[in-house]
Structure 1
């Protein structure tokens, strides 16, 4: 299994944003559940959802928006709109 780090998740989000820009999208809306599934290890007993959420927050720019936030800020329902 891949070594999951905050950087791994951050790179995934940045890649999704890059693909969105290449396809002329103006925004990208993703959930932490989707990002973690792309990277791997979710769902599962050894998931790294807190790291995934940290990376998604880190990838935010000043105009990006948190659309949905889990009760403790880190969970599978975190949804962020990234403006491309």
Structure 2
């Protein structure tokens, strides 16, 4: 049996801990090289300015929402919705955004809840559909359009759950009809059975 003085034991333990720290540090660096890092400016925009990760990365890259939408092959309305925290998009959408922003995909998930977000079911009540319609109308007004054609299929896709067996197309159509009546929109297309993706109205400003 070997007996060590307390001071020698403490020195050896410290060396062992240093070795473990070095191994952990090297592993962390390798992970960063493989998965990417988040620039300090992006972190500051998220913490200090309260921006969502996508908005912070876009600002960091010097892009407009229109630029990002074009690069990612998405609508500007959908990019606006994601940046406002009103939607997260599918995993495929986040991959497109990550490529367009030259950012690690995980860094666009905010608090690292990618798996939870990917499986989260969208809320599909009448108010949610109305909110999406109003968001698109507001964006159209802000960009100087004089009218906007909106279909139920387009709205349901933006909210989520369509196409799919669990869609709520009748509720979506009811929301679209109610807002169309309130804003005196013109009926452009009506499905034979009354409710369907082809239901469309033109809203004029």
Residue 128 of structure 2 is matched in structure 1 by 8
Pairwise CA RMSD: 0.8
> Does 2:195 correspond to 1:83?
no
Residue 79 of structure 2 is matched in structure 1 by none
More helix by share: 2
Secondary structure of 1:59 counterpart: helix
Residue 34 of structure 1 is matched in structure 2 by 154
Residue 46 of structure 1 is matched in structure 2 by 166
Instruction: State the 1:71 CA deviation.
Output: 1.2
Distance 2:134 2:195 in 1: 19
Secondary structure of 2:155 counterpart: helix
More strand by share: 1
Candidates 194, 197, 201, aligned match of 1:73: 194
Secondary structure of 2:171 counterpart: helix
Distance 2:198 2:122 in 1: 23
TM-score for both structures, normalised by structure 2: 0.40
Residue 13 of structure 2 is matched in structure 1 by none
Instruction: State the 1:72 CA deviation.
Output: 2.1
Instruction: State the 1:81 CA deviation.
Output: 0.3
Residue 56 of structure 1 is matched in structure 2 by 176
After TM superposition, what 4+ stretches of structure 1 lie above 6 angstroms from structure 2? none
- Structure 1: 5+ residue stretches without partners: none
